[in-house]
Amino acid sequence: MIAYAFKWSRHNLFAKPFDALLSLIVIPGTLWLIYSALAWAFTTAQWDIIPQSMRVLMIGIFPADQVWRAWTAVGIIGALLGAALGCVFSFRVHHAFILAVPPLALAVSGQGMEVSGPAALVVAILGCGWALTSYVPLARKVLLPASFTGFISIFAVMAPPGVGLWGGLLLSILLTLVTAVLSLPIGILLAFGRRSRFSSVRVICTGYIEIMRSLPLILVVYWIWILMPVLATGWNLADVARGMIGFTIFYSAYVAEYVRSGLQAVPQGQTEAARSLGMSEFDINRSIVLPQALRVVVPPLVGNVLDIFNAAPLVFIIGLTDFLRAGQMILANPQYGDRTYEVYSFLLLTYFLAGSMITYAARKLEAHMAVGSR
């Protein structure tokens, strides 16, 4: 064992003088950093602020007596997410143990039954959706209409207390979902427009895509936000809706570029073969080219979802209370004193966990898509 460790470190840490020097500088530095971070996390840090302000962080200023609405929305999202997962990975027993971790963690961290209970329920729903699509092929067929109904119901259940009250992490998630879903069809249309036979369509679509891609998202969101009331005086659209429109307008251009790269990956022979069968241009694009193109670009589109999720805090510019703003609101409360590091660590770690899951999914999906493609 010791001999193995010695050989391993000889090979991986001290292979050459330069490596040894690097190791001697980097290892103590890293160890010291990890040690001081851990020492801070377990002694100095006062983590009680996180469980105490969990509701604000998760749903912002959504009224406390309406929390069941948020839980219902999370339940629907969980079911859809589980169902989507099931189409790619089969549900196995060990996944159940992984799924059980978040509600247990909530219970251990001192959250009462009113939080851990619904969390366990959401996780159970997610697991059910996952198992359903893994083992029942019919369930995959109804996934598209089911997710459509799901999105409508999320809005139906979340809207009554006022759309302006949406906030916290839930707002980020809803914003990401809406943007990802709406920007896909617009992006596909733009991508086809960019390859249109008609030069005017080509110029308009190319111009739109290129202009959007060279502007900062924050500018587009702000711009839509101030332009809306000017365009339609008297029609008072909620800030959240304006933000979603801004995000969709911006990300459609990116989706269009991904889809276009997918369209280019479809061999010319496919179109030619379809044309010689006498299919119309519309049918060729709809049933021959687009499915093959989308198949190629699913992994980058998942990566795009991560981008949208990571950009969600930018809605601070139009005064929405998203996850980051909720954290800053808590920090502004003098009752808690200076807990800057605790709150930011929580924000960063939550985002890191969610982001890593999305990247992991994208990577797995890429491998899954590659199987059987050639």
Partner 1 sequence: MSINETSAAPGVVDRDQQQARRLRNRLRYDAIQFAIIALAIALVGVLAYCVKEGLAAKGIKFSFAFLANTAGFDISEGKTLSFGEEILPVFEAFTSDRTNGAAFVTGIFNTAKVAVLAIVFSTILGTLFGVGRLSTNWVVRNLCFWIVEFVRNTPLLIQLVFWYFAVVLQFPPLASAAKWYGGVIISQQGLHFPSLSWAGDGSPISIALATATWLAFAGAVFDPVGKMRRACMIALAVMIGVLLATDMLSVDYPVASRFQASGGTSLSPEMAALLLAIVVNSACYIAEIVRGAIDALPKGQWEAAGSLGLSRRDTISDIILPQVFRVVLPSFGNQYISLTKNTALGIAIGYPDLFNIYGTVANQTGHSLEGIVIVMASYLLLSWTISAVVSFADRRLNVVGAKR
The footprint of partner 1 on this chain (CB under 8 A) covers a number of residues equal to: 54
Report residue 276 as tokens.
Answer: 């010689």
Q: Are 61 and 53 in contact (CB under 8 A)?
A: no
In whole angstroms, the minimum distance from the beta carbon of 246 to partner 1 comes to 13
CB of residue 181 vs partner 1: minimum separation in angstroms?
Answer: 21
Helix, strand or coil, per DSSP, at residue 267: coil
Question: Residues 288, 312, 329, 330: which binds partner 1 (CB under 8 A)?
Answer: 312
Please give the single-letter amino acid code of residue 24. L
120 vs 302 by CB, closer to partner 1: 302
Distance spanning both ends of the chain, measured CA to CA: 44
108 vs 332, beta carbon nearer partner 1? 332
Other CB atoms within a 10 A radius of the CB of residue 284 amount to 18
> Binding residue for partner 1 (CB under 8 A) from 355, 364, 366, 368?
355
Task: Report how far residue 275's alpha carbon sits from residue 285's, in angstroms, rounded to the nearest whole number.
Answer: 10
Pairwise CA distance, residues 343 & 371, whole Å? 42
- For 155, the 3-state DSSP assignment is helix
Using the rule CB under 8 A, give the single segment among 8-16, 40-48, 153-161, 259-267 that binds partner 1: 8-16
Using CB under 8 A, which of 43, 44, 214, 236 touches partner 1? Answer: 214
Among 112, 229, 291, 337, binds partner 1 (CB under 8 A): 229
Does the protein bind partner 1 through residue 370 (CB under 8 A)?
no
Closest residue by Cα to residue 149 from 232, 227, 80: 80
Looking at beta carbons, which pairs linking 232-239 to residues 24 or more positions away fall under 8 Å?
Answer: 238/163, 238/164, 239/164, 239/318, 239/319, 239/320
| Assigned token pair, 182 | 């709406």
| CB 209 to partner 1: min, Å | 13
Candidates 68-76, 192-200, 283-291, 363-371: pick the segment binding partner 1 (CB under 8 A). 192-200
Indicate whether 223 belongs to the interface with partner 1 (CB under 8 A).
yes
Residues contributing to the site for partner 1 (CB under 8 A): 12-13, 15-16, 18-19, 22-23, 26-27, 30, 197-201, 204, 211, 214-219, 222-223, 226-227, 229-233, 306, 310-314, 316-317, 324, 328, 340-341, 344, 347-348, 351-352, 355-356, 358-359
